[in-house]
Amino acid sequence: MANSFAVLFVSFFCYIACVTGKKFNYEFVTCGSALKLLNSASNVRLHSHDVKYGSGSGQQSVTAVDSSDDNNSYWRVRGKSGNDCTRGVPIKCGHTVRLTHLVTGKNLHSHHFQSPLSHNLEVSAFGDGGEGDDGDNWIVLCSGSHWRRDEKIRLKHAVTNYYLHVSGDTYGRPIHGQKEVSGYASLSDLNYWIAAEGIFIKPTETLMGGKDIHTEL
């Protein structure tokens, strides 16, 4: 039931975004936004599903897919473990966030298990109902003061200090054609991401010196 509700929620608001999106110009990624993350070098989107790794941690797998219209590629932006952020507030560069998979409720996670194909560090989806542990925390690395929707960023894992990365390795069955996502030790063009499709919560007007108003796309 929860998964069905999440799919309906995403489908409805994506319809609204397609119909009315041209009327809005949301500059920032904000707390509470649900978005897809596009790897700018490989042109694939961060993805998860109820398929567990057959090795390593055995946790829910995280991959990257070509499709731009897959509901399993939405992630909700939240504050770090134990310190959630305020809805609609732009995410500052250098701040720590969690990314919660909208359909399964598990958080983007990493640890010191090896990834199955490249033997970098495994990236998984972990926790229940959006609550996991410190391995769910990622630092947003960007060039300005806040995470802008139109800029490339990196996500650095707060525990391992590895970067969220697409290696280029491709899975076979049961997730044929999907790309491996892993933690990578070094800076690379393959660990750049950009906000793509999504449901963006408008930044509060107080940031711009006006009234405190929240709007959804």
The DSSP output letter for 54 is S
Mean per-residue pLDDT over the chain, rounded: 86
Distance of alpha carbon 142 from alpha carbon 170, whole angstroms = 28
pTM for the full model? 0.84
User: CA nearest 120: which of 159, 152, 163, 158?
Assistant: 163
DSSP-assigned states of every residue in 154-208: EEEETTT-PEEEEEEEE--TTSTTPEEEEEESS--GGG-EEEEEEEPBPPPGGGG
Which segments of the chain have a pLDDT < 70? Answer: 1-25, 203-217
The pLDDT value recorded for residue 204 is: 59
Among 69, 68, 87, CA closest to 78? 87
Amino acid making up residue 6: A
* Residue 20: per-residue pLDDT: 35
